Structure 1
């Protein structure tokens, strides 16, 4: 994943453009892509700061609020498949795009959907 431009480089590009250079000339001078310089100047003009936008962060798992429902599904049918869990969630209005999402959430929650003998 690419990292944001350094604060120093951002400030130098802004100073160059504010000093009369075109955005594309400043991009060429500081060896950044023209689109990066255009986006930087757009951000600077909107916010007044050349600082990068928030980068990354934690996303709450989509199934966290529905843990009770998933547990009930697992308790009701011991050998339920991921596809069946996905279909049941869909029936309850919970849209889960991929079965891998369910699998990862189950693993993190310490639950299993495998047959219990």
Structure 2
């Protein structure tokens, strides 16, 4: 991820615009984007602040407010609810639109995983996978007769 421009550069751009340069001329002079210099100047005029904003993903999720509801769905006796069903229940009962990825990230953030067991035991008398032949061998090739 790219870093924010330095506060020194931001200050010099604002001072140049205040001295009479246009945002385009200031952008050209300091080798930055035109929209960047305009955004910095607008932010400085409205709030007087030149500090860069926080970059990256937000620390909070929109599902944090519904934590007890979601965890109650999972903690039932029948723990066989899918992420898609959780998304549907959130939309129907809470009016919250969320994607599967958002719900998955909600559980991953809390370290909650649920893996279903295999339905049958592995067979101990026979191999459970197909072994490939060595590279270049004809053991795995299928021959098709030409018509």
Classify the TM-score, shorter chain: 0.7 to 0.9
Give ranges in structure 1 of 5+ residues lacking alignment.
none
- Provide closer, same or farther for how the CA distance between residues 106 and 6 of structure 1 changes in structure 2, counting only shifts above 3 A: same
Q: Using CA pairs below 8 Å that are at least 6 residues apart, which structure has the higher relative contact order?
A: 1
Task: Tell me how many residue pairs correspond in the alignment.
Answer: 116
Q: What TM-score, normalized by structure 1, do the two folds share?
A: 0.77
Partner of 1:103: 104
Cα displacement string for residues 30-68 of structure 1 (whole angstroms, at most 9, x for unaligned residues):
11111111111112222234x134323743232233233
Unaligned residue ranges in structure 2 (runs of 5+) = 119-147
Task: Tell me how far 1:91 sits from its aligned partner.
Answer: 2.0
Task: Report deviation, 1:76.
Answer: 4.3
Matched, 1:8 2:41: no
1:1-117 correspondence runs (5 A):
1-49=1-49, 51-56=50-55, 58-74=58-74, 75-115=76-116
Q: By percentage of residues, which structure has more helix?
A: 1
Taking structure 2 as the reference length, the TM-score comes to 0.64
